[in-house]
Structure 1
Amino acid sequence: MAEFGDLLSALGEYGLYQKLLMLLLALPLLLNPFQMVGQVFMVVEEPHHCDTSWIRAVGPNLTEEEQLNLTVPRGADGEFEQCSMYSPVDWDLDSILAYGLNDTEKCINGWVYPSEQPPSLLTEFDLVCDRAVLNDISQSIYMAGLLVGATLFGMLSDRIGRRPAFLICILIQAVFGLAAAFVPHIYLFMAIRFVVGAAVSGIMVIVVSLATEWVGISHRTKALMITHTAFAIGQMSVAGLSYGIRNWRLLEIAGSAPMFALFFYFWVIPESPRWLVTKGRIEEAKKVLQKAAATNKRSLPPELLEQLKPEKQVKSGSFLDLFRKKHLQKVTLIMSCAWFADSIAYYGLSLSVTDFGLNIYLTQLAFGAVELPARISCIFLLEWFGRKKVQSVFLLLSGLLCLILTGIPEEQSLVITVLAVIGKLTSTAAFSTSYVYSAELFPTILRQTGVGLCSTMARVAGILAPLIIPLDQYHRAIPMAIFGSIPVLVALLCILLPETRGIELADDTGNDQPPEEEQKTDESF
C-alpha cells in the first residue's frame, strides 16, 4: 500500500533500527546449520566387526587377532568382513582349530568398534550393516520435520503474526535440540529431530517475511542476504565444532544450547507493521513504526500516520487463494518447483560430503566458505540482472555441475570435490534467490503461507535426498544424475515467472495481474 511505503521512506528504509533487527534475525540462522548437517559428523564411518566373544568361553587366552581369524571371514580384499561372522558352535577350541568354521551368518550379538574412539551416533546405536539405513531414515525424518514446520509455521505466522510464531520456534529448537543429546535410543532421537526440524524451518521462513517487510524496496535483497550470510558462517563453524568435539552427545549440546541465549528476543523482536496494518491493528502498527523512527533519529509526520489504513476492508487470506487467483496459481506452482530443485541439488551435495574422497571436515569447511560469496554476490546480481534471470541461470548451473560429476572417475577425488564445491555455490545462490523472489511474489496476507508452501516442496526434496544417495550401490552416477537433471528442467520453467525487481510489495491478493503490470513506486524508493 502506498501509505505504508511513504512511512517506510519517512522513518528510514534501512536505518539503524532495521540494521539491528537484521542482526537479531541473523543469530538464529547462525545456529541452524548445526541442525541441518551436524548429524553427518556424528555418523562418521568407523572400522567394525561382529562381536564374536562367544569363543572366549572355550579360548579365554586367544589374542584379538587369533579370535578374529577363527570367527570372522575375510572378504575379497583380504580384510575382515564387517557384517558377517562364522556361526557359533559348541565345539572345544582344539576342534575349532583343527577343522575351522565354514557356515556364516549376519552379526547376532552386535558389533565391536575401536575402543580408543569417542562415542558416536554410529557406534552407540549400531548404525552399521543392515541398520545403516536408520541413519538415512533419520535424516529423512528430520527433513519431514522441516516440511511440516514450513507449512505449519508459515500459516501460523500469517494468522497470529510473525513475532509470536518466531518466538515459539526459538523455544522449540532450544528445548528439543538440547533434549536430543540425552536420548537413550535411536527412535527417540528421530522423533526429537523431527520436532527440531519443524522449528528450524519455521525460523527460516519467518525471517524472510520479517526481513523484507521492514525495509524499503531498494534494500530488500541486501537485508535478506545479510541475514543469510550468518547461515554460511554457521556452516563453516559446524566443521570446526565437529572436528574439535568428537563425542556426539557433547557435540549436540554445544550445537543446541546457545539457542537458549536468544530468549531475550521476547522483549526486543518487533512485529511486522505491514502485517499489523493488513490485520487492521493500526494503533499497534503506529507504535512500532514510531519506535523504529526514534531509533533511526527520524520523526514521522502525524498527518502521515493518520493516513495509515488498509486499502480495503481487512480480510485474511486463505491457503486456497494461492490456487484460486490465476496469477498466484502460476507463481505458486513454478516457485514450488524452483524450491524443490534448489533443495534437491543443495542437500544432495551437502549430504554427500562423506563420499567425495577428501577429509570431510575440510570439505564441509569449503562448503560453508563458498556460501559466503554465493549469498553476497546475490545482493548485486539480483539488482543488476533481476530475479528471474538469476534464478534460472543458477538453477541451470547447479544442475549441469551435478551432471558433470557423474562422468568424473571416482579416483579423481580432488576434481570431484572442486566441482562439488562450485555446485554448492550455485545451488546456494539459487536457493537464496528463491527466498527473495518468493517474498516479493506473494502478497502480505499470504506471504508466509506462500513461502511456507514453497519451502514445503523444498523439504519434500530434502526428504528424498538422503534416500536417493544410497542408489549409488547400483551405479555411482545415479544420485548425481537425479540431483542434476531436476534443476536443469526447472530452470526453463522459471522463464515464465514475472520480474519483481524495483516493485513495491503487494499486500492483498488483488486482481488477476502479474506484479510487473501493477503500479510501480515513486523514484524516491
Structure 2
Amino acid sequence: MSNFGQILKEIGEFGLFQKWLLVALSIPGIFAAFDIIGQVFTGLNFPHHCNTDWILERGPNLTDERQKNLTLPVNKDGRFESCEMFTPVDLDLETIEAYGLNTTTGCLDGWEYEVPKGASSIVTEFDVVCDKSGLIEGSQSISMAGVLVGSLVYGAISDRFGRRFAFLLSLLLTLLFGVGSAFSPNVYVYMVLKFFSSTSGVVIQINASVMAIEWTGPSKAALCTTVILTLFSIGLTLLPGIAYLIQNWRILQMVLFSPLLIFLGISYCFLPESPRWLLTQGRKEEAQKELQRAARVNGRTVPEHLLEELKMEGTSERRNLLDIFRISYLRKRTLIMGYNWFATSLLYYGLGLNVGSFGPNIYLTQFIFGLVEIPSNPTSLALIQHFGRRICQAGFLFFGGAACLVVLAIPNDLPVVVTAIAVLGKFAANASFSVAYVYTAELYPTILRHNGIGLNSTCARLAGIFAPLIRLLDVYHDSIPMLIYGIVPITAAGSCLLLPETLNVELQDHTELKNPANGAKENRYNVEQIIEEHTF
C-alpha cells in the first residue's frame, strides 16, 4: 500500500468528512441534467400551420376550420399540411368557395401554433419549423460539441490548476450561460449560449467524480460515483415536472439554473482540494493541512510520522495528455474505453433526446426515462462490486444495443410496448455510463486521471454530437437510426472484454515513461499491467 493509502486509512476512508463532501459534490449534478436534457422542453415542437389570414380580407366571419379548408392542402393522412398553403389569389370569397384553390406554395406570412395559453418554446418564438426544423437537431449537436470541448479543457484545467478550481469554474459558467440563454434574441444566439453552457454543465459530474474518488478508499470509489450519477438521474426526474408547470421556455431557463448561485457560494466557502493532486504538484504542506482537516471532522488522529513521510513518487515531473498515448498500456485502455464511451453515449442520447418518439406524452415519458435511471445506478453498483467492472460494462452495452434492435420489430400501433422496450434500453444505457465513470477513473494514475477521463468523455461527446444528426437519416428509412443505436453498443461490448479488471485494486498515483535507451527507468506496473504491455 502507498504511503497516502496508509494515511487515508488512518483518517477514515469514508468518514463524516467524505460523506459531507459527497453530498456537496453530488447535488450540482441535478443541474447537469437540466443543462443537457432541458433543451428537449425548451425546443418543444407544437402543431402548426401556415398563417393564411389573407383570406379574412374577403371573408372576415370565416371560422377557423372553414379558413383552413379553403387555404391549406391536406396530406395523405388527411391532416392539414404544416409547411404548405394554397397560393393567395385576387378573387372574391364566393369564387374561391365555388372553385377552390389548386396552386401551393410555402408559408408566406409565418405560422400559427396550437399551444396552451402562456406556453412557448424556441420553436414557436423563433419559428424554427419547416425549412429551419433541422436547427433543433443542430442545436442539440452544438450543445454536445460544447460538452466535448469542456471535457478536454476541464481535464487540462483540473490537472494543472486543481480539482477545486475546476469544479467551481464549471458551476460558475453553467450558472452564467444557463441563465443567460433565457435572454436570447434569436435562435442563433441561443445556440451559441447553449454551446458555452454545455462546456461546463455535464463536466460538473466529471469534476465531482474525480474529487470524490481521490478522497476515498478504493472500496468506496464506485459508491461515490454512483451517488453522483444518481443525482443526475434525479434531475432528469424533476425536469419534466418543472417543465410542465413552467411552459414558458425563458422563465423555465431561469428557474432551472438560478439556484446554482447558492451551491456556488457554499462550495467556494467549504470545498477542499484533493490532497492526492496537491502531492502530485509537490505541495506537501497544503496536502497535510487538508488531511488534518478531514481527520478532525472524522474524529481521528493521524500519526505525525506518517504525515512527515507523506510523499508521492515522481511528483517533480508533470504529465500531459500526450503521455497517455506514449505509454502503451494507457494507450490500449484509452482506445478501447474511448469506443465504449462513444457507444454508451450514442445509446444514451439516441434514446434520451428522441424521447418524443416513444410515447404520446413527452412529460410522462421523460419522467419514466428519468425514474428508471435511479434504480439503475445502485443496481450497477451492486453488480460491479460482485461481478467486476469489465463483465458488467460489456453486459449493459449488449443489453442496451439489443433493446434498440428489438424496438424495430414492434409495430407502430403498440406505442406502450415501444416505450417499455425503450425504457429498458435507457436503463442499460445509464447503467453503462455509471460503470464507465467508475471503471475509467480506476484505469488511470492520479497524475493523468482527469486527462484520461476527459479524453474518454470526449469520445462520448462525439457520439452526443452524432446522436441527434443520426435521427435525420430516417428520411431514407425510418429504421436506420435505431439500427445504428443498436449495432454500435453491441460491438463495443465485445471490445470491453480486452480491458483489465480493477475491482478492489488500489488507485495508481503515478507512472513513468519507460526509457528504452538504458532500461534504467521502469514503469511502476503491477503484474496485470506487465502482462498487458507484452500482449498489446
The two structures have a TM-score, normalised by structure 2, of: 0.94
State the alpha-carbon separation in 2 of the partners of residues 227 and 516 from structure 1.
32
State the alpha-carbon separation in 1 of the partners of residues 178 and 205 from structure 2.
16
State the alpha-carbon separation in 2 of the partners of residues 97 and 507 from structure 1.
81
State the alpha-carbon separation in 2 of the partners of residues 517 and 180 from structure 1.
49
State the alpha-carbon separation in 2 of the partners of residues 354 and 138 from structure 1.
16
> How big is each residue's C-alpha offset from its partner over 1:463-489, in whole Å with a ceiling of 9 and x where there is no partner?
111111222233222111100100100
Farther-moved stretch of structure 1 (298-307 vs 393-402): 393-402
Q: Would you say the 8 A contact 2:343–2:489 is kept in 1?
A: yes
- Which consecutive unaligned segments of at least 5 residues does structure 2 have? 513-521, 531-536
Q: Which amino acid aligns with 1:25?
A: L
- In the other structure, the counterpart of 2:359 is 357
Aligned pairs for 1:11-90 (under 5 A) are 11-90=11-90
Q: Which amino acid aligns with 2:105?
A: E
1:412 Cα deviation after fit = 1.4
> How big is each residue's C-alpha offset from its partner over 1:345-381, in whole Å with a ceiling of 9 and x where there is no partner?
1111111211013322221111111111111112221
Farther-moved stretch of structure 1 (499-508 vs 171-180): 499-508
Q: Would you say the 8 A contact 2:393–2:435 is kept in 1?
A: yes
State the alpha-carbon separation in 2 of the partners of residues 351 and 228 from structure 1.
18
Q: Which amino acid aligns with 1:452?
A: G
Q: Tell me how large the CA RMSD over aligned residues is.
A: 1.6
Q: Which amino acid aligns with 2:251?
A: L
Q: Would you say the 8 A contact 1:402–1:484 is kept in 2?
A: yes
1:408 Cα deviation after fit = 1.2
- In the other structure, the counterpart of 1:170 is 171
- Which consecutive unaligned segments of at least 5 residues does structure 1 have? 520-525
- In the other structure, the counterpart of 1:517 is 528
> How big is each residue's C-alpha offset from its partner over 1:167-221, in whole Å with a ceiling of 9 and x where there is no partner?
1110000111011111111001100000111011321221121011000011111
State the alpha-carbon separation in 2 of the partners of residues 170 and 437 from structure 1.
25
1:504 Cα deviation after fit = 1.3
State the alpha-carbon separation in 2 of the partners of residues 202 and 63 from structure 1.
52
Change (3 A) 1:518 1:113: closer
1:313 Cα deviation after fit = 4.6
Runs of 4+ in structure 1 off by over 6 angstroms are none
- In the other structure, the counterpart of 1:91 is 91
- In the other structure, the counterpart of 1:523 is none
Q: Which amino acid aligns with 1:44?
A: L
- In the other structure, the counterpart of 1:8 is 8
State the alpha-carbon separation in 1 of the partners of residues 427 and 333 from structure 2.
25
SS in 1 for 2:202: helix
SS in 2 for 1:19: helix
The answer as to 2:215 corresponding to 1:225 is no
Farther-moved stretch of structure 1 (114-123 vs 434-443): 114-123
SS in 2 for 1:105: strand
Aligned residues: 519
- In the other structure, the counterpart of 2:343 is 341
- In the other structure, the counterpart of 1:433 is 435
Change (3 A) 1:465 1:195: same
State the alpha-carbon separation in 2 of the partners of residues 129 and 518 from structure 1.
55
State the alpha-carbon separation in 1 of the partners of residues 109 and 491 from structure 2.
49
- In the other structure, the counterpart of 2:455 is 453
> How big is each residue's C-alpha offset from its partner over 1:365-398, in whole Å with a ceiling of 9 and x where there is no partner?
1111111111111222111111111111111111
1:127 Cα deviation after fit = 2.1
1:159 Cα deviation after fit = 0.7
Q: Would you say the 8 A contact 2:205–2:228 is kept in 1?
A: no
Q: Would you say the 8 A contact 2:353–2:468 is kept in 1?
A: yes
- In the other structure, the counterpart of 1:132 is 133
SS in 2 for 1:203: helix
- In the other structure, the counterpart of 1:105 is 105
State the alpha-carbon separation in 1 of the partners of residues 435 and 325 from structure 2.
23
Aligned pairs for 1:231-250 (under 5 A) are 231-250=232-251
1:317 Cα deviation after fit = 0.8
Q: Would you say the 8 A contact 1:326–1:512 is kept in 2?
A: no
Change (3 A) 1:515 1:347: farther
SS in 1 for 2:105: strand
Q: Which amino acid aligns with 1:469?
A: R
- In the other structure, the counterpart of 1:286 is 288
1:512 Cα deviation after fit = 5.5
